A and B are shown apart, each in its own frame.
Chain A
Amino acid sequence: MSAVQIETAQRSLDRSRLFALVRKETLQVVRDPAAILIAFVLPIVLLFLFAFAVSLDVRDVKLGVVLESDAVQAQSLAAAFSATRYFVVTPARDRREIEPQLISGDVHGMVVIPQDFDLRLASAERGPLVQIITDGTQPNTASFVGGYAEGVVTGWLAGQRGGTRALLRLEPRYWFNAELASRRALIPGAIAIVMAMIGTLLTALVVAREWERGTMEALMSTPVSILEIFLGKLLPYFGLGLIATLGCGLAAIVLFDVPLRGSWLALLLLTCTFLVPALGQGLLISALARNQFVAAQVALITAFLPALLLSGFLFEVDSMPFLIRALTQIVAARYFVASLQTVFLAGDVWGLFVPNMLAMLAIGAVFFTIAARKTHKSLDT
C-alpha cells in the first residue's frame, strides 16, 4: 500500500462500523450514571440554583433610618424610605442605636435625618439634607444603597415641591425583561453552562476513559479508522446535548416562567452550532490528556469557567476591562449566551444569530483541525 492509500484507510468512513460505535457509546451513556447526572440532573439543579439562590437583583436591603428631627417633613421622608420595596427599614431615634448593627453587618447602611432637617429644607443654600452612611465592605450593595437612598430623597423632594402640579413624570421602563428579574437572563446562561459540560467535559472524559481503561488500545488494533472512532464519540453526545437543551428549555418555560419569545427552531439551531466548538474542544483535550483526571481539570478550566465567567452570563462583557473583553472573543460560550438571551427574551433576531453562529463555527473549526492533527491511530507519541 502506498502512503496515500494508508492515509485513506486511516481516515475512511464505513457506515456499519460507525453505527456499531454509536450504538456502543449510546449504551454506555444510558448505563453511566455520571452522564445522566450531567445531562439531565445538573441542568435542573442549575436552573433551581439560578432561579432561587443566585439572584443578582438587590431587594429588601436592610437600612437603618435615624430620625433625629421631629418635623412633619422629616417624618414624611422617613415614611418614604419605609414605603419602597427595596429597603427594609429599622427606625431609630439615635444613630448610636444603628452603628453597632452597621458594624456587625445587620444593616447595610443608615440614613440620618438631622435635627435641623426642616431648617435645611427651608434654607436656600441647599446644603446636604440627610447623611447617608453605607457599609463599604460590600461595594456593590453600598453603591446601590447610596444611589437608591439619594433617589428616594430626590423623589420625595420632587413630591414635596411639585405637589399636584406635576404633569410630567419620568417612569423608567425596561424592555425584554420588564421586571428586571435576573433569573430570566440567567437561565439561558445556565443552558450554555450545561452544554459546555456535556460537549466539552463529558467528551473529554469519555475519550480519556478509553485510554485509561485500555479499551482504546484494543479498539485501535481493529480495522476501525480514527475518523470512525471520533465520529462514534461525537454523534451520541451531540444527540445528548440536544435532548438536554430541550429539557432545559421546557423546564425554564414551565417551571420558571421564562418566556421563549423566539422559536424552538432557532433555539435548537443555536445549540447545534454551539455543540460544534464544545465537542471540538473536548476532543482536543482528550487528544492531549490521556487520563480522566487531567482531562477533567483542563475541561473545567478551559470550558466551564470561561462559560461561567467570560460569556456575559454572570458579568456583562461590555463592562469588562479591554484585555478580558478581547479574550471573550475566542470563548464560544459568549456568542451562545448572547444568542440564547435574545432567543428567550427578545425573539428570533437572525441578524444577531447568524454572525454569532459563524463565530462559533469558526472556533469549532480551529479545535477540530488541531485535534485531527494531534490524533493518530498509533500508540507512538
Chain B
Amino acid sequence: MAAAVEIVAASKRFGEIEALNRIDASIEAGRLTGLVGPDGAGKTTLMRMLAALMTPTSGRISVAGHDVAAAPAAVHELTGYMPQRFGLYEDLTVIENLRLYAELRKLGDTGLEQTFERLLQFTQLGPFKTRLAGRLSGGMKQKLGLACALMGRPAVLLLDEPSVGVDPVSRRELWQMVGELTDEGMAVVWSTAYLDEAERCESVLLLNHGRLEFAGKPGRLTERLVGRSFRIRGVASDRRRVLAETLDLPAICDGVIQGESVRAVLRAGASPAALDALAAQHQGRVEPAAPRFEDAFIDLLGGGPGGRSAIAGRMPEVELAADKAVTCRDLSKHFGAFVATDRVSFEVQKGEIFGLLGPNGAGKSTTFKMLCGLLAPTAGEATVAGYDLRRAPSRAKLELGYMAQKFSLYGLLSVRQNLEFFSGVYGLGRATRRRRIDEMITTFELERYLESSPDALPLGYKQRLALACALMHRPPVLFLDEPTSGVDPITRREFWTHINGLVRRGVTVLVTTHFMDEAEYCDRVALMYRAKLIALDPPDALKQRAATPDHPEPTMEDTFIALVEAADIPARAAA
C-alpha cells in the first residue's frame, strides 16, 4: 500500500532563513505519526506544506497521492487540517461551526444530522451544541477544531500542536479520540513539543533546526539508551546539590530531578562508576531506570547543559526577615459572580520551590497575580517576606522578582536598555546599578547581544535576559509564571540549573507550569481545580495518592488526572 504522505528532499526557505532542509520521510495510513521537535524546528512549516498552504522551495511532497504544489485543490479535498491557533469562529456556536465546515466540504443534506450527532458524541460536545465557540474551555475548543477537521472523513488528518495550552485531562481525551481514528485507517500527523506525547506515537519524525534527526518508531530511538538511564534514590543531602554534581560529571549527558530522586543519563560508552561513587558519597543508591524518549532526544542533540549556575555562584546567601517566605490565608478573588480563587491557604518556606498546577481556568494565574501584588484580593490575606500585601504592597514588591509569561521585555529597547530600565525601576543606586548590570552581562553571556533588541534574541538568551531583569534587585522570593512554555528541552534544563542554584542560595521560588516533568523539580506542589486547592504535597507523596495495585508508579501526569477526576466525583454527586 502506498504511503499516505511522501516527502522527498523537501526544503523551505523564507528569505535568508532555511526553515526546512532536505526532508525525506513517508507517513503511513492507519498510523499516528508524531511530528516532534523544539520550538522553531520547522514543525508548523512542514504542517502547512502538508496541508498544501505552502509549497516547498525545492523537493516534492505528495499527500494522498497528489502533489501539494501542483494540485493543492485535490489535497484540500482529501485532508483535514487543524491549525496551531484555534481556527474556528468564536462568534458562531458549536453547531454553526460544524454546519459551516460541512457545507464548505459539500457533504449534502442527507445524513448530515447523523454526521453531526456522531461527531458531537465523539467529542462529547453534545451538551454544548448551542454555546458560542469563544465561550468553550481550551480543551473543548480543540475538540471542536478536531470535529471540524474530521468533516468529510479526510484520508489524512493534520493536527498542529493540538495539545498546547490544554490541561492533561483534555489532552488524554484528545489522544484517545485520535487513536480511534487511526484504527479506522486514517493517517494522522500530530505535531508536539511534549516529548512524553512523542513517546506514545506509533512513529515519529524528529525535527531540529529544520533537519530531520530521526524517523521511525520512538522505541527505536529510546532503545539506544538502554542501560544508560539511572535513578539515584535515597540521598541524604539536598537533591539539588546532587543533581548539580551529577551534571558536572564528564560521563553524564543529561540529568533532571524527579521528585525525591535524581535521574541521570550516561554518555554513550561511559562507565557508571563515577555515578556510583557520587551516590555513595551522599548515602544514596543508583538504580537502573527505563529510558525515556526525552533522554534519547537530549542525547541526540549532544547532551544538556552542565550543573553550575554562574548567577547563583555570585548571589550572596539570602537573608529573610520572616521565617515564611510567602503565606496566604483564605485568599479569594471574585470577578462579578465568577469566583476565580476560592479561599486558598498555604505557606511557603524559605528556600523552597513551590509549584502551582491546575487545568486551564482553575485559578492559578489569578492566585499568582494576587501574591505578586498585581491583583487586589476580594478577601483573605497574603504576605511576602513577612510584608502584608494589603498594608505594605510596595515594600513587599521590593522583596519579590517576577518573570511573566512571554517574558515581558521591551522590544523597542536594546538588551542593555532593558537591563538599565529594570535596575532603575527597583531604585538601585547608581554604583550598585552599574555593578549589577555588568555582573548580569558576564554571568548570562549577554555581551554580544547588548545592542540588539530582545525580540531578535534566540529564545534561550531571551529567557536569560528576562531572568536577569527579574533578579536585578536580588529578590529573596522569585515568582515564575509559566517560564518555560514554548521553550525547547535544552534551554529548559539550563533555566532549571539557574533556578536550582538560586534555591541553594536560599531564594524561594513559586512557579506555575503546564509541563508535568517540571513539577518534579518542586519541593511541594499545590494543585488547583475549579478555584479551589485540591491537593498540596511533595510530588512523590502526590504520586503515591494516585498509585493503584496495577499501576504502582504513576507519572506526574497520571497523578494530575487522577486527582482532578477524584475532585470531580463529589461535584457531580452534588449536581
Q: Which residues of A contact B (CB under 8 A)?
A: 1, 3, 6, 9-10, 14, 16-17, 19-21, 23-24, 27-28, 31-32, 213-215, 217-224, 377-380
- The interface residues of chain B lying within 8 Å CB-to-CB of A14 are 106
Distance to closest chain A CB from B94 (angstroms): 13
Known: A20-B100, A20-B104, A221-B81. A377 touches B90 (CB 8 A): no
Interface pair A27/B96, CB less than 8 Å apart: yes
Which are the 4 A-B pairs with shortest beta-carbon distances? A218-B87, A20-B103, A214-B85, A9-B73
- Of B46-54, B113-121, B395-403, B522-530, the one with at least 4 CB within 8 A of chain A: B46-54
Interface pair A222/B54, CB less than 8 Å apart: no
Q: Which of B390-424 contact A (CB under 8 A)?
A: none
Closest to A24 in B: B100
Cα–Cα, bound, A185→B53 (Å) = 50
- The interface residues of chain A lying within 8 Å CB-to-CB of B74 are 1
User: Which of A6, A215, A218, A380 makes the CB contact (< 8 A) with B82?
Assistant: A218
User: Which of A17, A214, A222 makes the CB contact (< 8 A) with B76?
Assistant: A222
User: Which of B55, B99, B104, B106 makes the CB contact (< 8 A) with A378?
Assistant: B55
Interface pair B55/A215, CB less than 8 Å apart: no
Closest to B84 in A: A214
- The interface residues of chain A lying within 8 Å CB-to-CB of B82 are 218
Cα–Cα, bound, A106→B77 (Å) = 74
Say yes or no for B346: interface residue by CB 8 A criterion.
no
Distance to closest chain A CB from B563 (angstroms): 33
- The interface residues of chain A lying within 8 Å CB-to-CB of B100 are 20-21, 23-24
Interface pair A218/B73, CB less than 8 Å apart: no
Known: A221-B51, A378-B72, A380-B55. A17 touches B92 (CB 8 A): no
Cα–Cα, bound, A380→B14 (Å) = 9
Interface pair B53/A379, CB less than 8 Å apart: yes
Cα–Cα, bound, A14→B104 (Å) = 9
- The interface residues of chain A lying within 8 Å CB-to-CB of B54 are 378-380
Say yes or no for B71: interface residue by CB 8 A criterion.
yes
Known: A214-B85, A221-B81. A28 touches B91 (CB 8 A): yes
Interface pair A1/B53, CB less than 8 Å apart: no
Cα–Cα, bound, A19→B87 (Å) = 20
Cα–Cα, bound, A217→B87 (Å) = 7
Q: Which of B131-168 contact A (CB under 8 A)?
A: 145, 148
Closest to B82 in A: A218
Known: A14-B106, A223-B105, A379-B53. A6 touches B92 (CB 8 A): no
Distance to closest chain A CB from B321 (angstroms): 47
Say yes or no for B79: interface residue by CB 8 A criterion.
yes
Determine the interface band of chain B, counting residues with CB < 8 A from chain A: 35 or more
Distance to closest chain B CB from A147 (angstroms): 53
Distance to closest chain A CB from B169 (angstroms): 24
- The interface residues of chain A lying within 8 Å CB-to-CB of B83 are 214, 217-218, 221
Say yes or no for B101: interface residue by CB 8 A criterion.
yes
Known: A1-B74, A24-B96, A378-B53. A218 touches B91 (CB 8 A): no
Say yes or no for B428: interface residue by CB 8 A criterion.
no
Interface pair B85/A1, CB less than 8 Å apart: no
User: Which of B71, B80, B88 makes the CB contact (< 8 A) with A215?
Assistant: B88
Interface pair A217/B73, CB less than 8 Å apart: no
- The interface residues of chain B lying within 8 Å CB-to-CB of A214 are 83-87
Distance to closest chain B CB from A241 (angstroms): 21
- The interface residues of chain B lying within 8 Å CB-to-CB of A222 are 76, 101, 104-105
Closest to B102 in A: A20
Cα–Cα, bound, A378→B186 (Å) = 25
- The interface residues of chain B lying within 8 Å CB-to-CB of A16 are 103, 106
- The interface residues of chain A lying within 8 Å CB-to-CB of B96 are 24, 27
Say yes or no for B89: interface residue by CB 8 A criterion.
yes
- The interface residues of chain A lying within 8 Å CB-to-CB of B73 are 1, 6, 9-10, 223
Say yes or no for B456: interface residue by CB 8 A criterion.
no
Distance to closest chain A CB from B162 (angstroms): 13
Distance to closest chain B CB from A165 (angstroms): 77
Say yes or no for B249: interface residue by CB 8 A criterion.
no
Interface pair A224/B104, CB less than 8 Å apart: yes
- The interface residues of chain B lying within 8 Å CB-to-CB of A6 are 70-73
Which of B77, B90, B91: most chain A Cβ within 10 A?
B91
27 CB < 8 A contacts A-B:
A1-B73, A6-B71, A10-B72, A17-B103, A17-B106, A19-B103, A21-B100, A21-B104, A23-B100, A24-B100, A28-B92, A213-B87, A215-B88, A217-B53, A217-B83, A217-B85, A218-B82, A218-B83, A218-B145, A220-B53, A221-B76, A221-B80, A221-B81, A223-B76, A377-B72, A378-B54, A378-B72
Which of B52, B66, B80: most chain A Cβ within 10 A?
B52
Cα–Cα, bound, A23→B100 (Å) = 9
Distance to closest chain B CB from A46 (angstroms): 26
Cα–Cα, bound, A9→B91 (Å) = 29
User: Which of B70, B87, B99, B106 makes the CB contact (< 8 A) with A1?
Assistant: B70
Known: A6-B72, A215-B87, A220-B53. A379 touches B101 (CB 8 A): no
Distance to closest chain B CB from A104 (angstroms): 45
Closest to B86 in A: A214
Known: A218-B82, A222-B104. A24 touches B76 (CB 8 A): no
Cα–Cα, bound, A219→B97 (Å) = 11
Closest to A217 in B: B83
- The interface residues of chain B lying within 8 Å CB-to-CB of A27 are 91-92, 96
Cα–Cα, bound, A9→B74 (Å) = 9
Interface pair A221/B55, CB less than 8 Å apart: no
Distance to closest chain A CB from B118 (angstroms): 19
Closest to A229 in B: B104
Cα–Cα, bound, A217→B85 (Å) = 9
Closest to A12 in B: B73
Cα–Cα, bound, A29→B71 (Å) = 34
Known: A213-B90, A380-B54. A218 touches B148 (CB 8 A): yes
Cα–Cα, bound, A23→B81 (Å) = 23
Interface pair A215/B89, CB less than 8 Å apart: yes
- The interface residues of chain A lying within 8 Å CB-to-CB of B105 are 222-223
Q: A17-B106, A19-B103, A218-B148 are in contact. List 11 more A-B contacts (CB 8 A).
A: A14-B106, A24-B89, A215-B89, A218-B82, A218-B88, A221-B83, A222-B76, A223-B73, A223-B105, A378-B53, A380-B55
User: Which of B88, B89, B145 makes the CB contact (< 8 A) with A28?
Assistant: B89
Distance to closest chain A CB from B261 (angstroms): 42
Cα–Cα, bound, A214→B85 (Å) = 6
Known: A19-B103, A27-B91. A1 touches B71 (CB 8 A): yes
- The interface residues of chain A lying within 8 Å CB-to-CB of B81 are 218, 221
Cα–Cα, bound, A94→B145 (Å) = 83
Closest to B108 in A: A16
